[in-house]
Amino acid sequence: MQKITPFLWYDNNAEEAVNLYTSVFKNSKIKKVSRYGDTGPGPKGSVMVINFEIEGQDFSAINGGPTFKFTPAISLMVNCKTQDEVDELWKKLSAGGRTDQCGWLQDKFGLSWQITPSILGEMIADKDQVKSNRVMAAMMKMTRIDIKKLQEAYDQK
């Protein structure tokens, strides 16, 4: 069992959210569904908690009601190897949601994601501060991250 598991609070659409996430990520599965019983507080038989896995990471989702909402203060960062992967995840996760600056988006449930090419972290951490600054400046102009444009900024003479 994983020591720390992100626990995501949804109003009443945890099952819909988990079905989306497990359809978007190839290496994912629903592990367990717990339902409300006679004592509630949700309707008897409705989904209370869903335990699921994405890319080896365990998550739990609860139908907790309208008390709490997601904010961008917490996001799920997805490291992508290729532009095709960035583009596919960007399209699927932002559908019905909102796109933001620097590879961030909110899905239709309000959960924030960072769809990030792995190479971005390497470029920004480069010891050559001039290269790193050019990459950072290029990224700040983007919504969906474009690896080719990052590479052009990095290689600029």
CATH code for the domain in which residue 1 is found: 3.30.720.100
Domain span at 27: 1-68
pLDDT for residue 40:
83
pLDDT for residue 2:
87
Q: What is the tens place of the pLDDT at every residue in 35-61?
A: 999 998 889 999 999 999 999 999 999
The alpha helices in the chain, defined as continuous H runs, are: 14-24, 83-94, 118-124, 129-140, 147-155
* Residue 28: both structure tokens together: 């994912």
74 and 146 in a common domain: yes
- In the chain, the N- to C-terminal Cα span, in Å, equals 50
51 and 74 in a common domain: no
74 and 56 in a common domain: no
117 and 49 in a common domain: no
Backbone phi, psi, residue 125, to 5°: -85, 0
pLDDT for residue 157:
81
pLDDT for residue 10:
97
Per-residue pLDDT of the chain (157 residues; tens, 9 = 90+): 789 999 999 999 999 999 999 999 999 999 999 999 999 888 999 999 999 999 999 999 999 999 999 999 999 999 999 999 999 999 999 999 999 999 999 999 999 999 999 999 999 999 999 999 999 999 999 999 999 999 999 999 8
Q: Is the peptide bond before 43 cis (omega within 30 degrees of 0)?
A: no
Spatial separation of the C-alpha atoms in residues 153 and 10, rounded to whole Å: 40
